[in-house]
Amino acid sequence: MVGITDHMIGTPDLEAEVLGDDVEIDFFASTDEASFSPERLARLDALMVWGARLGAKSIAHLNRCRGVVRYGVGYEKIDLDALAKAGIPFANNPDYGTEEVADHALAMILSLHRRLWEHDARARAYRSGWQVHSLKPLSRSNKATVGVVGVGRIGTAVINRLKPFGFRILGYDPGQPPGHEKAIGYERIDRLDALFEQADIVTLHCPANGETRGLLGKDGLARLKPGAIIVNTARGELIEDFDALEASLRSGHLAAAAIDTLVTEPPGDHALLTAWRNREDWLAGRLVITPHNAFYSDHAAVEMRLNAAKTVKILLDEGRLRNRITDRS
């Protein structure tokens, strides 16, 4: 029996098709971990998780579970230590949505670099003149530098999309082997501070872990080149200090920010979010927030479900868990 906590779209028909008629599915249809009964958990041979948390109390009841598979890439809501202690392997689902996240990041980069949203916001009030209202400064793409933090699948896809525009591209990723930059086509930077000092635009494509949480907090933002733009389609925990983000935007040290993922979703109350919601003039077009849907397209949503189900099928049929995660940092 395979349990499915929840997912975005309807009933788990696609999963059932992949898993086959000999596999029974228990669809919890809830993101509330507290609603998962011990009896139902205890019957599962595998568990698939989308938006729900999975903590030690639930894991303690997964007595016969051979593996837990997350539909998405991130696994901040999964207690990997508890799974490891229970001897239950865990896998994520990295091979979907790469194109969508890269496209989303590129759209944010180009739109903020060209100040499109700010032009749109301010043009509504123009009653005299028109072209004279061009916003400055506004550089050519081939005169600007983009710093890519994390040059894995998505970071690489972003670099490949950036190259035709002529941007100078810096990449920071200690996990990539020497020569990776030559194969992909970017300038390797070994110190994050050096990237911050040079980049006009910083785009984040790294996981949230002990080294990266709060990466662009007060200190990180202060180290950015004055007038920089930041884009985050990775993890909300990388930019979790709204006080620092507001101060940097208000001072002008940070020109603009585009964020797809937040620590709390939907976001709560904060002065910066109030200004964003109210379209306050000082912030016009300078803060863009999308509802954690950079990964989404109709095609990616299907791909996500099919790939996760295939991972479970391989586990049940062959005893092998692909995309297994062992790093609990």
Residues involved in catalysis: 235, 265, 292
Cα angle value 231/237/241 (rounded, 5°): 85
β-pairing, 145-149 vs 201-204, is parallel
Centroid of chain to Cα 29: 24
Q: Tokens in use for 164?
A: 């035709």
Q: Which helix (H) or strand (E) holds 64?
A: none
Q: At what angle do helices 98-113 and 153-162 cross, to 10 degrees?
A: 50
Bond preceding residue 291 cis, omega within 30 of 0? no
Contact criterion met (CB below 8 Å) for 259 and 288: yes
Contact criterion met (CB below 8 Å) for 38 and 3: no
3-state secondary structure of 215: coil
3-state secondary structure of 255: strand
Give the residue among 101, 123, 105, 112 at the shortest CA–CA distance from 249.
112
DSSP code of 31? Answer: S
Contact criterion met (CB below 8 Å) for 73 and 93: yes
Three-state SS sequence of 142-200: HHCEEEEECCCHHHHHHHHHHHHHCCEEEEECCCCCCCHHHHHCCEECCCHHHHHHHCC
3-state secondary structure of 3: strand
What is the C-alpha to C-alpha distance for residues 92 and 101, in angstroms, rounded to an integer? 17
Give the residue among 64, 59, 12 at the shortest CA–CA distance from 33.
59
